[in-house]
Amino acid sequence: MSESKLAGQFLDAAIGLLGRVRDEEAGNIAAAGAAIADTVEAGGRLFAFGAGHSSLAAQDVVYRAGGLALMNLMAVPGALGVDVMPATLGSALERVDGLAGAVLDSSPAKSGDLLVIISLSGRNALPVEMALNARALGLKVIGVTSVAYAEETRSRHSSGGFLRDHCDIVLDSKIAIGDAELEVDGIEAPFAPASTVVTSALMQSMMAAAAERLLERGIEPPLLRSGNVDGGHEWNGRVMARYADRIFYRH
């Protein structure tokens, strides 16, 4: 079977975006890694949140092989999008004022913890309010978003602000508005989104930076191993026992 021209074009586009974030976001990635390392060293807890497909990158750093055991998912019921019927309800929930505050108030998050908020557009009420309320509670907030939306669209939050306006550190995914890398004559809609690829890479790169900072300080990063390799379950059991008070997805 011959190669797909469009598949190659998408991969080239994704590689180009990854190159841009590597070169242009290096300082912000390092700062995010240092902030995570600071939180781990100080005894704080780590959380990640994303709504809709942005939740995929948040889930990618929670309870996974090679990941920090302390990273917990800040779950908002129905906000994953595809876990409710109809799926469009998930999009509607992103625009509901007050939801983020209720979730944070009932979560274990407290002052001194760190929250990574992922939102491609950063314009909906849920991620903006999540950042505002988290900082008010004393959490450090890292935002992973596309700055292009803040420059070319309108906020849907009552403050008029975007996610990037309420974060301590911002990582720009460089994704263009519309999140589609390909346009072809004969196909009406643009297609082939790259935001998940790039955002997940940003998340893993900041985790790598955090591990590097911890190592420099003489601290063993609390990492999980694959349960599919010999000794993996035993290793993970020891890590989870040591940090039981900072891991919430196992209770």
- For 157-174, the pLDDT digits (tens) are 768 789 999 999 999 999
Check whether 68 has a pLDDT greater than 80.
yes
- Average pLDDT on 35-42 reads 98
CB 36 within 8 A of CB 45: no
CB 17 within 8 A of CB 194: yes
Q: How many CA atoms lie within 13 A of 233 on its CB side?
A: 2
- Average pLDDT on 22-30 reads 98
With vertex at residue 208, the alpha carbon angle to CA 107 and CA 170, rounded to the nearest 5 degrees, is 60
97-155 confidence digits (pLDDT tens): 778 888 899 999 999 999 999 999 888 888 999 999 999 999 999 999 999 988 888 87
pLDDT in the model for residue 99 = 80
- This prediction's pTM: 0.93
184-217 confidence digits (pLDDT tens): 999 999 999 999 999 999 999 999 999 999 999 9
How many CB atoms within 10 Å of residue 17? Answer: 20
Check whether 247 has a pLDDT greater than 90.
yes
Check whether 86 has a pLDDT greater than 90.
no
Beta strand extents in the chain (DSSP E only) = 46-50, 71-73, 114-118, 140-145, 169-172
Check whether 224 has a pLDDT greater than 80.
yes
pLDDT in the model for residue 74 = 93
Does 52 or 68 have the greater pLDDT score?
Answer: 68
Regarding beta strands 71-73 and 46-50, do their DSSP bridges make them parallel or antiparallel, or are they unpaired?
parallel
pLDDT in the model for residue 9 = 97
pLDDT in the model for residue 29 = 98
Check whether 34 has a pLDDT greater than 90.
yes
- Percent with pLDDT over 90 in the chain: 76
pLDDT in the model for residue 125 = 87
pLDDT in the model for residue 52 = 86
pLDDT in the model for residue 81 = 66
Does 93 or 192 have the greater pLDDT score?
Answer: 192
With vertex at residue 115, the alpha carbon angle to CA 157 and CA 164, rounded to the nearest 5 degrees, is 40
For residue 86, cis peptide bond before it (omega within 30 degrees of 0): yes
Q: Which residue has the tokens 């991969």?
A: 11
Q: How many CA atoms lie within 13 A of 130 on its CB side?
A: 34
pLDDT band per the 50, 70, 90 thresholds, residue 35:
very high
| Average pLDDT score, the chain | 92
C-alpha distances in Å from residue 75, one per residue of 117, 154, 162, 178, 243 = 12, 26, 21, 25, 20
pLDDT in the model for residue 251 = 65
